[in-house]
Amino acid sequence: MAQAVSQAQGALEALSALSAESWFARPWFSLSGAKVSFAAELGKLSGHLLHIGTDAFALGKEGRAVRCRFVSVVCVHFRDRDGRGRGGRVFYTQHWPMRVASIWEKLFVETSCSVSLAAAIAERFPRMGDRLLVHIDANPDASHRSGDYVHTLANMVMGYGFRYVLKPKAWASSRAADFIARGQHLRVV
């Protein structure tokens, strides 16, 4: 695991630029691709559970590394008093293409982005802190490559004081962010 952590040092340097304010300064979009004021939209969602996830899409190989585009999403699923679904909203931002050398580095960057985003939201909107759920794009089943890293990633999220879900329940990362990272949302609208 120590080797895996050292592999992620380059990613850590890039992630250090993600301050709380930088999350709100970067361009955010709705699922239709319309640019939105992220802070204003979040302000309207103070009573709802926010699902936060990040996924990466491989753009191509660069030597032994893979160049990936990372997408972070904030999703809200509206429900009525009886618990029935009443639609939802998805907001996303894209990150600079980054090279990752291993599955561990990819998962580490994805989870770090999600935790950093959750921390930024909790800092800007303190009353939302207990309504943030981080979706980790890793499967606890040992037959999956990501299974080796589940405990480390989950502990990282819990260390920041946030709740988390894993695959197959981590739909914000494995479905919503993946859908956008692959560019499929552009074909829907």
HEC string of the chain equals CHHHHHHCHHHHHHHCCCCHHHHHHCCEEECCCCEECHHHHHHCCCCCCEEEEEEEEEEEEECCEEEEEEEEEEEEEEECCCCCEEEEEEEEEECCCEEECCHHHHHHHHHHHHHHHHHHHHHHCHHHHHHEEEECCCCCCCCCHHHHHHHHHHHHHHHCCCEEECCCCCHHHHHHHHHHHCCCHHHHC
Query: What average pLDDT does this structure show over 165-184?
Result: 89
pLDDT of residue 189: 45
Q: Between 176 and 85, where is the model more confident?
A: 176
- The amino acid that residue 74 corresponds to is V
Kindly state the tokens that stand for 3.
């080797």
- Which residue type sits at 175? R
Q: What is the pLDDT of residues 87-145, one digit of tens each?
A: 899 999 998 778 899 999 999 999 999 999 999 999 999 999 899 999 999 999 988 98
Q: Distance (Å, rounded) from C-alpha 107 to C-alpha 142?
A: 15
Buried b (16+ CB within 10 A) or exposed e, 142-153: eeeebeebbebb
Beta-carbon neighbour count of residue 36 at 10 Å? Answer: 16
Per residue in 49-63, pLDDT (tens digit) is 999 999 999 888 877
Spatial separation of the C-alpha atoms in residues 96 and 174, rounded to whole Å: 19
Q: How many CB atoms lie within 10 A of CB 129?
A: 14
- pTM for the model stands at 0.87
Mean pLDDT, range 5-28, rounded to an integer: 70
Does the structure show a pLDDT above 70 at 41? yes
Share of the chain above pLDDT 70, in %: 88
- Contact between residue 73 and residue 92 where contact means Cβ atoms under 8 Å apart: yes
Determine contact, residues 33/189, Cβ cutoff 8 Å.
Answer: yes
Segment 15-20 mean pLDDT: 66
* pLDDT at position 10: 56
Q: How far apart are CA 10 and CA 12, in angstroms?
A: 5
Tell me, what's the pLDDT at 9? 57
Taking the C-alpha atoms of residue 62 and residue 129, their distance in angstroms, rounded to an integer, is 39
pLDDT at 6 over 70: no
